[in-house]
Amino acid sequence: MGASHPKIGLRTMGLSLLCLVGLSVSTVMAESSVRTGLYGRAGAAVGVSQSGRLDQLNAALPGLLIRRGIVPAGSQILEARVETGTLLGASVGLGWRFHPRFAFEGSFDWFEARADFTLRVISPSLPDEVLAGTTEAGNVSGWTFVCEAKGYLATGTFQPYGSIGLGVMGESANFALASVLPASWSEMAFAPRFGAGLDLALTPRVALNLDAGYLLGTGTLASDDLISLRLGILGRF
């Protein structure tokens, strides 16, 4: 019985060595399976924005409605606001993965959403009734152009990454209720972007890309931060 222990030990060491070799080979294969070079990306984009200009407009609306005679003097305005829906659009990007774990990318995102005007008021002539209504006020659109640096945490099938970049962000609004609301505005400013995402490799050349980013408004858009979500297909050349 005592002579059998060295054999078990050698067998265990042999199996452990094989496992280590297999793990090393699989790691090398995963690293080498990542294609470096140029790539393109395209897909859908969703944006969530906090518009400082829109907040200022909503704060001024009650007085504006009374001064312009839209609401009779002496009315009690319960609600008067312009609200936008979810920003929907598209995103495209062109990048260069110069190392399995690092890449540079330039991207352009475009968003648009409908804006609705909601009014709830109690008129002096009808003190027991709440008059309410919602109508389309126009639309709000936005765009971003950003250059980013990406760092990948893994290079296998699942490739999570973090990104940081700097670009330009624009916001425009066009309202149809010109007698009540400003007809339009358009602003543009620099905006840093902080993001994280995942490339899910489908083939060595094609991957599914999911990305989330936060753009920090500056200058005239200092109170207009934007959260952007991207979902698309990435193709390597």
Phi, psi of 202, deg, nearest 5: -95, -40
pLDDT (0 to 100) of residue 180? 64
Shared domain check, 127 and 13 = no
The band of 92, judged by pLDDT with boundaries at 50, 70 and 90, is very high
Shared domain check, 135 and 26 = no
Shared domain check, 42 and 21 = no
Shared domain check, 102 and 136 = yes
Which residues lie across from 198 on neighbouring strands? 160, 210
Cα–Cα distance measured from residue 46 to residue 189, given in angstroms and rounded to the nearest whole number: 20
pLDDT digits (tens, 9 = 90+) for 50-90: 777 778 778 877 887 877 777 777 788 888 888 888 899 99
CATH value at residue 222? 2.40.160.20
pLDDT (0 to 100) of residue 148? 98
Output the pTM of the full model.
0.75
Shared domain check, 102 and 10 = no
Percent of the chain's residues with pLDDT above 90: 46
Domain that holds residue 17: 1-32
CA 68, 74, 75, 76 dihedral sign is positive
Q: What total number of domains does the chain contain? A: 2
- Asked if 43 and 91 touch (Cβ cutoff 8 Å), the reply is yes
pLDDT (0 to 100) of residue 28? 39
